Amino acid sequence: MRWYRRLITPAPDEPRAFFITGGSAGIGRAAAKLFVALGNDVAVTARRQERLEALRAECEAEELPGRLLPLVADVTDAQAMQQAVARALATFNRLDVVIANAGIGHRGPLVEASWEDLETVLRTNIDGVLHTVRATVPALRASGGGHIVLISSVLGPVPAPYSAVYSASKAAVDSLGRALRGELKGDRIRVSVLWVGQTHTEFAERRLGEGGRVAVRWPTMTAEQVAGGIARVLEQHQRAMTLRWVDSVFVCVGRRLPALMDWLLTRFYRPA
């Protein structure tokens, strides 16, 4: 039994209801499965219905103790997010934890990038978080408080060349998280930002733009490791955190020695 199991598993008389965006793949999927395995009620959204149904079937086949509610919703659609939250509330009667995870990457020179791709990144990573927060906060308030975890990236605090718009979108997420933390404190709603480092998911494959990354051997996490990290965030209530020492060093050096980090990143991040 992992150490966080004791912390996240609800007592029989206090069910916890989760709302996770981007649960059809990668980190969101792994987090949804983890929290269902720990006996929670989990509403999970994405656009690909068949993927969500497959996740529900998997949870049922493994007889996981919690409930999984798949909801098809595009995070860029404010109304769809409001409707998804309404359905989650109608099923679970409360909402305790929100994980704003849905996101998409972009790689390549900014000026030559198609505006359509850049706009998709901005709409998904920024508007998507805004719609998620605006739809779920009233439900968290009605439940007496809760916790919002915004899934950001180490490129939020430390932007990289040829990832300019992706980095900027995650910096916006960091800024929203910091401001909301104060705004929602009186509602007993905690807000945390998770600076995720490189993780093996469909992310790189589905990233928009061109593959601009040169061969750099950087340690990679699994989606399950990040899901475990999200469980840790829920316990520790930190305002922003990384999951590995290598990411902490990256963020720390990037913030304290920006000229050095920019020089290093310019060597590693190049156009294709």
Ligand X SMILES: NC(=O)c1ccc[n+]([C@@H]2O[C@H](COP(=O)([O-])OP(=O)(O)OC[C@H]3O[C@@H](n4cnc5c(N)ncnc54)[C@H](OP(=O)(O)O)[C@@H]3O)[C@@H](O)[C@H]2O)c1
**How far apart are CB 172 and ligand X at their closest, in Å?**
12
Tell me, what DSSP letter sits at residue 187? Answer: G
Q: Which of 32, 102, 148, 261 binds ligand X (CB under 6 A)?
A: 102
Tell me which H or E stretch contains 195: strand 189-196
CA 119 to chain centroid, in Å, comes to 19
Residues forming beta bridges with residue 97, ordered by sequence position: 18, 147
Q: Which residue from 39, 103, 159, 212 is in contact with ligand X, where contact means CB under 6 A?
A: 103
**234 CB-near residues (< 8 Å, 6+ apart):** 7, 8, 97, 147, 149, 192
Q: How far is the CB of 195 from ligand X (least distance, A)?
A: 8
Judged by beta carbon, residue 89 or residue 149, the one nearer ligand X is 149
Answer yes or no whether residue 196 interacts with ligand X by CB under 6 A: yes
Is 26 a binding residue for ligand X by CB under 6 A? The answer is yes
Decide if residue 25 touches ligand X (CB under 6 A): yes
Q: What is the largest CA-CA distance in the chain?
A: 56
Q: Which stretch binds ligand X (CB under 6 A): 40-48, 53-61, 108-116, 137-145?
A: 40-48
Q: Is residue 269 annotated as part of the catalytic site, yes or no?
A: no
Stretch that binds ligand X, among 12-20, 26-34, 130-138, 178-186 (CB under 6 A): 26-34
Query: How many residues are recorded in the chain?
Result: 272
> What six digits make up the tokens of 110?
């900014």
Nearer to ligand X, 39 or 197 (CB): 197
Decide if 167 contacts 174 (C-beta within 8 A).
Answer: no
Residue number with CB closer to ligand X (25 or 38): 25
**Which residue shows structure tokens 């975890």?**
149
Phi, psi of 253, deg, nearest 5 = -65, -40
83: which 2 tokens? 């409707």
Q: Which stretch binds ligand X (CB under 6 A): 3-11, 63-71, 98-106, 107-115?
A: 98-106
Environment class of residue 248 by beta-carbon count within 10 Å: exposed (0-12), middle (13-18) or buried (19+)? middle
Q: Does 201 bind ligand X (CB under 6 A)?
A: yes
Residue 185 annotated in active site: no
192 binds ligand X (CB under 6 A): no
Is there binding between residue 227 and ligand X (CB under 6 A)?
no
Residues designated catalytic = 166, 170
Residues engaged in binding ligand X (CB under 6 A): 21-28, 46-48, 51, 74-76, 101-104, 124, 128, 151, 153, 196, 198-199, 201-203, 206, 223
